[in-house]
Amino acid sequence: MGIAVGLGKDSGEDRLARQGISRRNFMQFCTAVAVTMGMGPSFASEVAAALTGRRTSIVYLHAAECTGCSEALLRTYKPFLDTLILDTISLDYHETIMAAAGEAAEAALEQAVANPDGFVCIVEGAIPTAMDGKYCYVGGHTIYDTCKHILPKAQAVVCMGTCSSYGGIQAANPNLTGAKGVNDCYASLGVKAINIPGCPPNPLNLVGTLVAFLQGGKIDLDELGRPTQFFGQSVHTLCERRKHFDAGEFAPSFNSEEARKGWCLYDLGCKGPQTYNNCPKVLFNETNWPVRAGHPCIGCSEPNFWDELTPFYQN
């Protein structure tokens, strides 16, 4: 895996060519990102320009999490993340995939934070605050203190996943660790993170947000800090089973003939009407999403979904 560290001086076209990525495959990826952003295929050239300019330094921090968001991001494909995104941005710190460890990893983090050209910080996982943050240590420091040190210095802060956005499952009742989302912890320091919730979120929503930032345009956010490009409509509105909801056709059970015919899963516990996300539009790996696969939406991109939207299933 060719992970670039530091700012690249060569052109984006040269970097892609060295990785054996054709312009056609790259433009297919850019088209998918453009469609995710709601801009249409014609916007692909602007996405390409943003992704092949000077590599932006990315610092990716892990707090209290399961690494599922990183797993989703690493499964971005056509072309794969390791041959495109990690050579298009400068991913200077990511504990899961970086080669460095121990003191070398900590030095890489401090070097990236001191970059005179600035950096973007992505946070995955909730921030434990109970017992002065002692429930989560990285490199001998609580993640609470690490984020307090780093986030105010970033050009932009992006929360990858529901845990860093709102606390997620880490903050589920009784929340003994005092887990909170990034904005709840650091708003008083001037931090205003962009939330990309989901458990896990679709990686194209993160890529689209980074593209919008690199282009220097305004990113419109809803009242929960989510980009309206990706979270402006409910899952219910976009769902391919919506026509059955409107027709009053509801599956009585998961193993029923009606369920196999694609009837609405609302009576079985689907939280699509309460959930704002673009899952039906973007899919995961352009292949499928839970409701199409026959599972109700559990509302994982909403705050406190683990407590407030349970039970996930209805008899």
Structural domains of the chain ordered from first start = 12-52 (no CATH), 56-227 (3.40.50.700), 235-309 (4.10.480.10)
Indicate the pTM of the whole model. 0.83
Q: What is the pLDDT of residue 151?
A: 98
Does residue 300 have a known ligand-binding role? Answer: yes
Q: At what angle do helices 203-214 and 23-36 cross, to 10 degrees?
A: 90
CA–CA separation, 285 vs 312, rounded Å?
24
57-89 residue pLDDT tens: 899 999 999 999 999 988 876 555 555 555 567
Report residue 217's pLDDT band, with 50, 70 and 90 as the boundaries.
confident
Q: Could you tell me which of 244, 243, 215 has the C-alpha nearest to residue 229?
A: 215
Q: What is the mean pLDDT of residues 144-151?
A: 98
Contact call for residues 291 and 280 (beta carbons, < 8 A): yes
d(CA 65, CA 162): 10
Lowest mean pLDDT among 88-97, 192-201, 239-248: 88-97
Given this model, what pLDDT does residue 43 score?
64
> Mind spelling out the 3-state secondary structure of 260-276?
HCCCECHHHCCCHHHCE
- Cα separation values, 212 from 24, 69, 265, Å: 22, 20, 35
pLDDT given at position 8: 46
Q: Is 163 marked as binding a ligand? A: yes
136 labeled binding residue: no
Note the pLDDT of residue 75: 81
What is the C-alpha separation between 192 and 51, in angstroms, rounded?
Answer: 24
Higher pLDDT, 29 or 53: 29
Give the three-state DSSP class for 313: coil
Residue 159 annotated as lining a ligand binding site: no
Q: Which of 45-54, 221-230, 295-304 has the lowest mean pLDDT?
A: 45-54
pLDDT of residue 202: 94
Any known ligand binding at 185? Answer: no
